[in-house]
């Protein structure tokens, strides 16, 4: 009897495996999980929880990503094996096929509105900062839009790189500087050179003579028009005076 029970007591000394508590907390939604994925952009560290993707960064190392996450998001972070469906979802999101869910808790309502609006910009197109400001009902808050986008915790996935300055300057980019922003836009099929030539000439909108509609130059409407039918405008007043109406899709001006 005594030997048997003495031996049995040893079973009680078994310890939970390393990282067990963190995995439980992650499962309860109190910590985020993360993994590193190979994407068309190269390796990207991605964090998520039950509400959706919470952060993404092209960090140099896991330690760098963890440090950044704890500082910026302030939750616990647990490295896990990547779930299989998430890799496909990430690819779909970057290709512009499907929408993912995002966890934007912790950001101000204004920042959340900016980022949600940014998700509406299709792949291959760009919009000015002022467009976001107007669309979310704060037309004067252009600089605040810039700040919100600069602090986007989920660059690439929430495509803040598709927002550029009206004067054609690429602008800064939290996800790796202006160079990275240029590379991603090129990868998405934006003709940056043409865009910048137009911007330098002060031409912000592109109209099509046959439809009398004016768009942002990257809007896909009217892309099949003949070269000689394109006409360019400096501003909304000029376009309207010429009898053109704003495109209902890219909404270069409020549709009155």
Partner 1 sequence: MEGTERVFERLVRDHQDRIYALGFALTGNRHDAEEVAQDTFMRAFRALCTYPPDRVRELKQKAWLHRIAVNVVRNRMRGVRPRLVELNGSEPSHASGPEEDVLMRAEIDELAARVASLPLRYREAVVLRHVHELSYAEAAEALGQPVGTVKANVHRGLKMLRGENHDNGDA
* 256 binds partner 1, rule: CB under 8 A: no
233 phi/psi in degrees, rounded to 5: -125, 150
Least distance to partner 1, CB of residue 70, Å: 15
* 2 binds partner 1, rule: CB under 8 A: no
* 243 binds partner 1, rule: CB under 8 A: no
By beta-carbon proximity to partner 1, the closer residue of 5 and 84 is: 5
Report the C-alpha gap between 10 and 228 in whole angstroms: 86
Assess contact for 207 and 233: CB atoms under 8 A.
yes
For residue 46 the two structure tokens come to 């991605």
* 245 binds partner 1, rule: CB under 8 A: no
Q: Is 96 left (phi over 0), alpha (psi -120 to 50) or beta?
A: left
* 27 binds partner 1, rule: CB under 8 A: yes
* 12 binds partner 1, rule: CB under 8 A: yes
Strand ranges (E), the chain: 31-39, 42-49, 52-57, 76-79, 127-128, 163-164, 205-208, 213-215, 230-233, 245-246
Size of the site for partner 1 (CB under 8 A): 23
* 7 binds partner 1, rule: CB under 8 A: yes
* 18 binds partner 1, rule: CB under 8 A: yes
* 74 binds partner 1, rule: CB under 8 A: no
Dmax over Cα atoms in the chain, in whole Å? 101
* 108 binds partner 1, rule: CB under 8 A: no
Report the C-alpha gap between 15 and 45 in whole angstroms: 31
* 23 binds partner 1, rule: CB under 8 A: yes
Report the C-alpha gap between 42 and 176 in whole angstroms: 12
Applying CB under 8 A, among 17, 42, 137, 243 the residue interacting with partner 1 is 17
Question: Which residues on neighbouring strands pair with residue 53, listed in sequence order?
Answer: 48, 102
The span of 12-20, 136-144, 211-219, 239-247 binding partner 1 (CB under 8 A) equals 12-20
Q: Choosing from 160, 215, 219, 247, which is the catalytic residue?
A: 160
CA neighbor of 161 nearest in space, from 189, 135, 142, 180: 180
The span of 6-14, 34-42, 184-192, 204-212 binding partner 1 (CB under 8 A) equals 6-14
Catalytic residue status for 160: yes
By beta-carbon proximity to partner 1, the closer residue of 11 and 140 is: 11
Q: Which residues are catalytic?
A: 160
Residues that bind partner 1 (CB under 8 A): 1, 4-5, 7-18, 20-21, 23-25, 27-28, 30
């Amino acid at each position: 009897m005594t030997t048997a029970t003495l031996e049995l007591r040893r079973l009680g000394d078994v310890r939970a495996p390393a990282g067990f508590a963190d995995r439980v907390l992650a499962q309860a939604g109190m910590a985020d999980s993360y993994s590193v994925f190979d994407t068309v952009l190269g390796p990207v560290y991605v964090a998520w929880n039950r509400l959706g993707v919470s952060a993404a960064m092209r960090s140099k190392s896991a330690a760098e990503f963890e440090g950044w996450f704890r500082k910026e998001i302030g939750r616990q972070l647990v490295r896990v094996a990547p779930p299989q469906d998430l890799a496909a979802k990430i690819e779909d999101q970057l290709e512009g096929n499907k929408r993912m869910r995002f966890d934007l808790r912790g950001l101000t309502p204004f920042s959340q509105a900016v980022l949600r609006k940014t998700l509406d910009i299709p792949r291959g197109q760009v919009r000015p900062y002022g467009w976001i400001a107007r669309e979310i009902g704060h037309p004067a808050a252009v600089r605040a839009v810039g700040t919100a986008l600069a602090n986007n915790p989920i660059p690439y996935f929430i495509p803040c790189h598709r927002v550029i300055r009206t004067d054609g300057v690429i602008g800064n980019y939290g996800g790796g500087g202006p160079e990275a922003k240029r590379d991603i836009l090129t990868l998405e099929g934006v003709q940056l050179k043409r865009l910048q030539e137009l911007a330098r000439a002060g031409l912000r909108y592109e109209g099509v003579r046959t439809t009398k509609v004016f768009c942002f130059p990257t809007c896909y409407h009217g892309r099949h028009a003949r070269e000689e039918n394109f006409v360019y405008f400096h501003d909304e007043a000029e376009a309207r005076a010429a009898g053109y109406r704003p495109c209902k899709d890219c909404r270069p001006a409020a549709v009155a």
